[in-house]
Amino acid sequence: MAMMAMTIRNSASRRTMMSRPIFGSRSMSSWWKNVEPAPKDPILGVTEAFLADPSPDKVNVGVGAYRDDNGKPVVLDCVREAERRIAGTSFMEYLPMGGSVKMVEETLKLAYGDNSQFIKDKRIAAVQSLSGTGACRLFADFQKRFCPASQIYIPVPTWSNHHNIWRDAQVPQKTYHYYHPETKGLDFKGLMDDVKNAPEGSFFLLHACAHNPTGVDPTEEQWREISQLFKAKKHFAFFDMAYQGFASGDPARDAKSIRIFLEDGHHIGISQSYAKNMGLYGQRVGCLSVLCEDEKQAVTVKSQLQQLARPMYSNPPLHGAQIVSTILGDPELKSLWLKEVKIMADRIIGMRTTLRDSLEKLGSPLSWEHIGMFCYSGLTPEQVDRLTSEYHIYMTRNGRISMAGVTTGNVGYLANAIHEVTKSS
């Protein structure tokens, strides 16, 4: 009987405990009730709407991903051959925290030059990153940890994710003039004034080439003037180079802004990505590099970059790094890649010429001389909405057109639609 009474008391005690909220007075269903839906990404949201549109005439010029002249994704021949070679290996181990040493070495040559003395002197701290986004985020966290009182100057406009990256790294942001809406060109005077008036030793984010979203880049002479002013003000330049090779078809030419700063003695940071110029969008392979005083400092900085990466993702992915190192490490494959990059760039250059000519032939009252890798069209949000609702043409509401989505099959349709919604301007 005593044992039975004890069993009954224990059962009652368990029922009482189960009836009580485990975490104080909060019910299990209320932990996330205050979470609201996040706003849609302005670029990726365009793709979602495009995919949901059943119209056979739909056109997507919102996302900066390369397409062939049939509007289809492209896998480069050099990538296919690299994949074939890699398929014979069975290495599946973790990469080091800093990533593939071979991939990083080859990547630095693209930015700093094949015969760079900085590479020979081992003055560059560099790690493999999760494409360009990951490189920017790693640097933003590095800036916050070791220059906690600093802020970042970001151009107006810029790729929208730049603001998210430095915001989430808790680095205060300021902006500087870049685009001139009236001329649809570079606001060089405004840019130089802002660089001059920024506190000495400020951090600036610069687009190395193919500025996103405007497609407007400084001339070589303007880059030289910018570099000299940065030097006088002791500013730090962080270059985001997401489109090396895409702007001109020549990776060395597209790195000219960086080479100018290096020639002038700057210590800089660079974000590099292979999403666009090798078509490795889903592989998320890139590189972050920081030029240091000497080899000893570079070793120290790299150790801290790796330390930042450890709690984020521990190690970068293997496969994309294997593809890049296989291509860039083989002279024949690298030569093939350079040819394919030029083919992609030439197609884009041809399409922007055709689009401009088509608009001018239609009698467009607007100037289209500004069309580059991206075209900051000057279309108003209302005009963009009309393009979508009446013509099934999709782009971000700031009017940015990605020329990579323009083909010989849709360029006439696109030009006519743009003319129709702008001719009353």
Catalytic status, residue 276 = yes
194, 276, 302, 368: which is the annotated catalytic residue? 276
Q: How far is CA 242 from CA 117, 136, 157, 198, 343, in A?
A: 24, 11, 16, 26, 18
Catalytic status, residue 240 = yes
The residues near 30 (Cβ < 8 Å, ≥ 6 apart) are none
- The confidence score (pLDDT) of residue 95 equals 95
Burial profile 332-366: b = 16 or more Cβ within 10 angstroms, e = fewer = ebeebbbebbbebbebbbebbebbbebbeeeebeb
276: number of Cβ within 10 Å: 23
187, 217, 240, 254: which is the annotated catalytic residue? 240
- The confidence score (pLDDT) of residue 372 equals 63
Report helix, strand or coil for 254: helix
Q: Give pLDDT < 70 ranges for the chain.
A: 1-28, 90, 370-373, 425
- The confidence score (pLDDT) of residue 425 equals 65
- The confidence score (pLDDT) of residue 101 equals 97
Q: Within its chain, how far is the Cα of 368 from the centroid?
A: 25
141, 144, 159, 368: which is the annotated catalytic residue? 159
327: number of Cβ within 10 Å: 25
